[in-house]
Amino acid sequence: MKQLYRSYEESTEIFKKFQHDYPNNFKIESIGQTWEKREINLITISKDLKNADKKPALFFTGTIHAREWIGHELAIDFATYVLENLQTDPTLQTYLNVSTIYMVPCANPDGYEYARNHFSFWRKNRRQNADGTYGVDLNRNFPIGFVKSTITTSNVYGGPEPFSEPETCALRDFVLAHPNITIALDYHSQGNVFFPAHDFRHEDTLDTTDMNTLCANMAEEIRKISGREYGIHQGKPPAKLISGSGREFYYSHNIISTVVEVGTRNISDYMEDMNENIREHIPALIAALKETDNYAKNNSVKRVNSFEVTEFGSNHVNLKWDYPTNDKIYFEIYRSQRDKNFCNSSNLIAKTQNLEYKDINLFSNRDYYYNIRVVNKKTNQKSPFYPQIKVRTLIEYDEYSRTYYANAKATGYVAENLNNNDKHFGINSLFVGVDESKGVSYAVITINVKTLPDNALIKLASFNLYPINRVSTTIEKYGEWNVGLVNQETMGNITDFDDVESMEIIRYIGRPTESHQLTQGIWRTWSLSGLECIDLKKSVKDGMIVLRVEGPKGLRVGRTKQMMQWDIGYGKFGFGLSYRPRLELTYTIEPTTTVLYPKSVCTVSKQAIKDDEITAGYDKDGHKIYSTFEFNLSSLPPYNDTMITRVYFELNSTKIYIKDDIRFHLEFIDATINKDYEALTHREVIQNIGYDVSATELKNNQTQYFVFDSFSEIILNEKLKEKADITLVLKPTSAQKVIKDKSVSWEISNHNLSPKLVVEHIPKRRYPVSKVNNAQLIMEAGKIKVMWENPKESDFVGAKVIKNAFRKPLSPQDGQKLYAGTDNYTYDDFGAKDIDKYYAIFTYDDVPNYSEPIILEYKAKLS
């Protein structure tokens, strides 16, 4: 396997040959020497080498860690691909017309050769330290966040000071001398995950969306090739952050920067794994190259000045933005249903020159993510992205929503070979799968759903876990991870491995997650089918649901792990309470049915008005005969706490003998109309109810149902608000030009068959509770404290606090969630005090309806 990997000397010879064969497009040069006097190769690929340094550039670095050979190999094959296809591939030609590629294929030549020839797991360079030990971790030797250490034997020893190593000095000097670099990719192994740069603060930055989207676009190219899904995770406190890395140094110089962790092992089987990794990353690198020009320092196409939600409902979202418009530019709007998703042609929903956009035909109670960028029509150069918007559409009028989180004390993992499984509950990670030391491991997740009504009818459900670590685990290409509903009637001790392994599973939910789908930094979702939703409800016992998460149970020969680590939200290594396992439900409840009988019915013809009689058709002169029905809504529950969910009008005909083509329509009209023939023929129709019925249908079925459509139900709900009367009119129509003396009578004397309006409704609060009062920001113990007074209303359930540094959060999802509950304060525990930002406080009830936010603006004090 190792013999297929090329030595540093071999790659140097390859690059020298490329320079000879492609003198106009390829150059190799040295940017410094290592401790062992090897030249540090820098290669440049361009359509015009003379002007390469004047064009925006992609900067590739590989194998800064000696045992991570993917970077070196990928650089060779990527260079080969570009050079061999440059003359025939119009896409490459287009991108390289405006961009340059710089690559340091191996940033640690000494360490790489030592790993190849002596000790495969060697990570550092080959500096001889003062105490006689060897090596500095070059990716801890940069100045941003540098951590001083004296433990020279550590694999992450960062050296005596920043830039103490010739390798990092060479990278520094090259980057500082090339301000045309706009994107930097640092290739590592292992994990199949992107780690965008961070600035050591618990805040999204203006270009967080740019970095996430760049990574997501690359990840989508990988998925198209191999089906493999890459994670994206921008580290933030309280998670442990990488200090002194090249990624943060490049980012500190306004370069979009990310680490790319490739594969499942440091030195993969070349033919089985590494070859595939290389093949899938070439189109990913081309996707990155495409973006270099858009992040050029002199790009005149700037990002929009603002981007916000103005209004949203159950099936629409209205967006607006600010930008000086002209005929040369337009805006691209992208929509996704998951965070950190790609922005490409498949989710581009609008190109517009307007400063607003209404997105319609959405699903209720779903998360939608919106991104925007500006495009120059002439050059096709694009702006960076404005920070992403997240909004959850409202629930429908008959729906409720709940998000339930895992109960910490009853959530944990059990492992076959460990004796302290009870200690794994309420701690920060769930290990699921198998490894040599733990054996088989299961996660048990207990969720309190006591607020779910007994008569709830679950419409949609999803279970979500946050993958916390792919790098330190080794996941090969086999096996799947499943979530099962546990039968609590037969369940034993959830902290005992044997009891957990023998749990009776009622049903597995959602689609299995296969090994190639496991990612870090992107929620994994198991979406339930309709039948699974029914079983989920049946599995509730004493207000609890218990789930078992399981993975592969066997190891391949020579492998030690097939284990995934998921966040529980608690503990010093967790990412916070927002990352707890969660169950999201959309449900309705069984409705109450109220039958309304008409307060009056009458037949209106040109000759007469007859009360308590129902006839419709045509008189002997061919004039229409109408029937009217008047209902009073006062017997229905109060409007503010009632939603009408379904309405239909039932009508039963008497025996009829009509053979002519006559059909009958039911109309919803203004109740104040006079019931004389002239007024009725000039009536204003609010809406037709249901479908018309023919005389032929009446012969076959005496009972007819006229079902209200959505618009009619909305109008009826408004009539309920006023407790008003409503009027329905039955009118005849015919395709024949003249039809005379043909009519149908309808039952009225038989109570069971008489006309009736059937109204199904549920108790549901229509409006949110009042907003909070006296909201304010103060500094306390070095933290920003948000304080407020909750409303005193009995339906108040809690207040939710959202933080956003880029806009006022008008949606309770648009930003970082700081708190949700009944307290009247919270802290921005890790928030930077030198960044302006907004805090929004929403109140909510148990529907939930959210109030309009109270917005607090934090202004950083300038020193």
Q: What's the confidence (pLDDT) of residue 268?
A: 60
Q: What is the mean pLDDT of residues 274-297?
A: 93
With CA atoms as reference, report the closest residue to 315 among 210, 250, 238, 391.
391
* Spatial separation of the C-alpha atoms in residues 615 and 4, rounded to whole Å: 91
Q: What's the confidence (pLDDT) of residue 472?
A: 65
With CA atoms as reference, report the closest residue to 447 among 401, 495, 484, 410.
410
With CA atoms as reference, report the closest residue to 141 among 120, 104, 166.
166
Q: Is-contact 474 559, C-beta < 8 A?
A: yes
Phi-psi region of 439 (alpha: psi -120 to 50; beta: other; left: phi over 0): left
Tally of CB atoms within 10 A around 300: 11
> Is a pLDDT exceeding 90 seen at residue 696?
no
* Spatial separation of the C-alpha atoms in residues 614 and 794, rounded to whole Å: 48
Instruction: State phi, psi for 92 to the nearest 5 degrees.
Output: -60, -40
Q: What's the confidence (pLDDT) of residue 654?
A: 84
Q: Give Cα separations from 705 to 29, 411, 732 (angstroms).
A: 83, 51, 16
pLDDT averaged over every residue in the chain: 93
With CA atoms as reference, report the closest residue to 726 among 813, 615, 838, 647.
647
The DSSP 8-state label assigned to residue 335 in this structure reads E
What the block records as the tokens of 771 is 């907003």
Identify residue 487 by its one-letter amino acid code: N
Q: What's the confidence (pLDDT) of residue 863?
A: 45
Q: Is-contact 852 771, C-beta < 8 A?
A: yes
- Band the pLDDT of 199: cuts 50, 70, 90: confident
Q: What is the mean pLDDT of residues 600-626?
A: 93
| Cβ-proximal residues to 777 (8 Å cutoff; 6+ apart), any chain | 784, 785, 786, 787, 839, 856, 858
Is pLDDT larger for residue 795 or for residue 475? 795
Is pLDDT larger for residue 3 or for residue 192? 192
Tally of CB atoms within 10 A around 138: 27
Phi-psi region of 191 (alpha: psi -120 to 50; beta: other; left: phi over 0): left
> Is a pLDDT exceeding 70 seen at residue 471?
no
Q: Give Cα separations from 139 to 167, 391, 551 (angstroms).
A: 10, 38, 33
- Note the pLDDT tens digit of each residue in 436-452: 999 999 999 999 999 99
- Lowest mean pLDDT across 98-107, 236-245, 679-688: 236-245
Name the percent of the chain lying above pLDDT 90. Answer: 79
> Is a pLDDT exceeding 60 seen at residue 270?
no
- Note the pLDDT tens digit of each residue in 633-652: 999 999 999 999 999 999 99
Q: What is the mean pLDDT of residues 680-685?
A: 88
Q: Is-contact 645 591, C-beta < 8 A?
A: yes
- Band the pLDDT of 611: cuts 50, 70, 90: very high
Residue recorded with tokens 């948000």: 786
Tally of CB atoms within 10 A around 351: 11
Tally of CB atoms within 10 A around 224: 12
What the block records as the tokens of 177 is 């001398």
Q: Is-contact 189 263, C-beta < 8 A?
A: yes
- Note the pLDDT tens digit of each residue in 345-370: 999 999 999 999 999 999 999 999 99
Q: What's the confidence (pLDDT) of residue 266?
A: 63
393: helix, strand or coil? coil
CA-based Rg of the chain, rounded to a whole angstrom? 34
| Helices 109-117 and 8-21, packing angle to 10 deg | 130
Q: What is the mean pLDDT of residues 96-117?
A: 97
What the block records as the tokens of 172 is 């520094």
Q: Give Cα separations from 507 to 132, 483, 531, 537 (angstroms).
A: 60, 9, 10, 12
- Of 154-163, 257-266, 673-682, give the range with the top mean pLDDT: 154-163
* Spatial separation of the C-alpha atoms in residues 232 and 521, rounded to whole Å: 5
pTM for this prediction: 0.93
| Cβ-proximal residues to 17 (8 Å cutoff; 6+ apart), any chain | none
Instruction: State phi, psi for 278 to the nearest 5 degrees.
Output: -65, -45
What the block records as the tokens of 414 is 């059990």
What the block records as the tokens of 104 is 């340091």
Tally of CB atoms within 10 A around 424: 21
Q: What's the confidence (pLDDT) of residue 473?
A: 63
C-alpha torsion sign, points 186, 189, 195, 200? negative
- Note the pLDDT tens digit of each residue in 499-519: 999 999 999 999 999 988 888
Q: What is the mean pLDDT of residues 321-331?
A: 95
Q: What's the confidence (pLDDT) of residue 273?
A: 65
- Note the pLDDT tens digit of each residue in 745-803: 889 988 889 999 999 999 999 999 999 999 999 999 999 999 999 999 999 999 999 99
> Is a pLDDT exceeding 60 seen at residue 272?
no
Q: Give Cα separations from 445 to 217, 344, 407, 634, 847 (angstroms).
A: 33, 37, 7, 48, 25
Q: What is the mean pLDDT of residues 139-166?
A: 96
- Note the pLDDT tens digit of each residue in 44-70: 999 999 999 999 999 999 999 999 999
Identify residue 804 by its one-letter amino acid code: N
- Lowest mean pLDDT across 226-240, 311-325, 474-488, 530-544: 226-240
